[in-house]
Amino acid sequence: MKFILNGIRLGIVLVLASNTAFAAGGFLSAIERIEDAAARIHMDSLKCEQDANAVVDLVRHLDPLQFPIFEIREGAPAAISALFEVRNDLKEEMQELYSAGALSAACAPAIRKVFRHVRGVEDFIGSIRALHGEEPIPANPNGPGFLPAGILVHEDVREPVRLQSGDILLSRGNANVSALIARMADEDTQFSHMAMVYIDPETREEFTIEAHIEFGSKIFPLRDWLKDGKVRTVIFRQKDPIRAAVAARYMFERVKSAQDAGRPVRYDFGFDMNDHREIFCSEVVRQGYSFASAGTFLVPAFPSKFTMKNRDILDRLGIRIEESFLPEDIELDPRFQLIAEWRDFSRIGAAVRKDAIMDAIYRWMEMDGLRFHPSRNHRLQARLGKVLRNLGFLKEKMPTYMRVRAIEMSLMIEELMGELEKMTEAHALRHYAETGLPFNFFQYSEELERLKAEGALKSASFRNWFHP
């Protein structure tokens, strides 16, 4: 399981002084070694996981202190583009093998790790340039208008990029709940939300069809996509445009009619992807494509698993299933093509820190048996929030049907993550002042484990309600 594996890997020192061979030839040569290792992954054999882990190990030992910072800054645009193509090549190979029925069953989660670690390198080196006031990638005027110009477009996509009905927008926000969703399955992810695009065939108006915790399902103008502070967006497309258009139209009409009637489709806190009476964000896509195919085209191809022993967070949120459709599962679905990707490199570091913290929380729960025990204050706040919502207040915060236990969980996660962020901030700032480099995911993880080993967590305020 991910918690055990992460616990073992966290024991490996990130910075290996003797690892000069990896740095030989400079920064871009190190990136090329990652490319070469990814090209040697055999997805149609039992070696897939071993080959994928070789790529992950190279990423984990890519120590930025081995290179002059100016070399990373100068090489970042080329490196980001090259690693973006690495991910595209892997996805295309998955598509070919999946179509031929030759994709190894154990390969999908291994490739997910590769995607996550390779994208993490892109995020990190892009954030270095952004911190020094430089554009991480060249502006692309051919990207879709609802995203800024710094966008990577798949080389096979005709430019300028035009969205189609049924396209899928995969994204990540910077709220703490985004990290909770991104890390709550067996395999970690970097995304927390998904929406479906609908384009009116007559007016050509562009909309997103979405499901949010705060108010259920809703239709939004596409131009408002980034208004809630997203830090990354990836566009995916199903290759059958007719099926995609039917899926989008069906979900648009279902959500819009309920919204216009003042009874939005409820948010599915249980994440049951097969019961569509209530829907969560990814379920918008699943139900749409199921309808468009009379139930023969079910998304995703490889659902996320929830097999952890300590299900305290999931239970409090009302999640009882052991398999569901998390947003990033679409990246592994060979039937969808990656079209373009955008990130706000100046803010991506905050999401990385939240991911590391949430990952540590889940790991400590699994390995040390930690659980949440709401304090009297948490219980009072949750019940007061419930009363206020039923009186018509807090409409943008929660639905009337959100359970008190889920509200308590949200309050505790906010408080716990906020305190852990403060505890890691000083060391991260000192590292940046000394090196000019931000903390990466592994450094945040190691700092959290150091704090825990030195007993800092035992003196934190959350010790009274986050313990075995």
% the chain with pLDDT above 90: 91
- The answer to whether residues 53 and 117 touch, using CB atoms and an 8 Å cutoff, is no
**Which pLDDT does position 24 carry in this prediction?**
58
**Which pLDDT does position 46 carry in this prediction?**
86
H or E element: which one contains 221? strand 216-221
Nearest to 62 by CA among 111, 11, 16, 8: 16
H or E element: which one contains 340? strand 336-343
- Interval 337-347 mean pLDDT: 97
Q: What are phi and psi of 232, to 5 degrees?
A: -155, 150
- One-letter amino acid at 76 equals A
Q: Which domains are seen in the chain, by residue range?
A: 1-138 (no CATH), 140-346 (3.90.1720.10), 352-467 (no CATH)
Nearest to 246 by CA among 212, 296, 191, 300: 296
Mean pLDDT lowest among 42-51, 194-203, 247-256, 358-367: 42-51
pLDDT higher than threshold 90 for residue 457? yes
pLDDT higher than threshold 50 for residue 14? no
CA distance 320 to 410: 18
**Which pLDDT does position 193 carry in this prediction?**
98
pLDDT higher than threshold 90 for residue 204? yes
- Interval 434-460 mean pLDDT: 95
From residue 116, alpha-carbon distances to 31, 268, 329, 330, 411 in Å are: 15, 27, 12, 13, 28
pLDDT higher than threshold 70 for residue 40? yes
Pairing mode, strands 466-467 and 232-238 = unpaired
CA distance 376 to 304: 35
pLDDT averaged over the chain? 93
> Predicted confidence band at 23 (pLDDT cuts at 50, 70, 90)?
low
% the chain with pLDDT above 70: 95
The secondary structure of residue 45, as a DSSP letter, is S
> Predicted confidence band at 27 (pLDDT cuts at 50, 70, 90)?
very high
**Which pLDDT does position 16 carry in this prediction?**
36
Which two three-digit tokens encode residue 320?
């009882």
> Predicted confidence band at 126 (pLDDT cuts at 50, 70, 90)?
very high
**Which pLDDT does position 20 carry in this prediction?**
46
Reduced to 3 states (helix: H, G, I; strand: E, B; else coil), residue 219 is strand
**Which pLDDT does position 1 carry in this prediction?**
45
CA distance 200 to 184: 35
pLDDT in tens, 269-309: 999 999 999 999 999 999 999 999 999 999 999 999 999 99
**Which pLDDT does position 9 carry in this prediction?**
41
> Predicted confidence band at 120 (pLDDT cuts at 50, 70, 90)?
very high
pTM attached to this predicted model: 0.93
Instruction: Identify the residue with better confidence: 5 or 381.
Output: 381
Strand order in the sheet with 336-343: 151-153, 336-343, 232-238, 168-172, 193-199, 206-212, 216-221
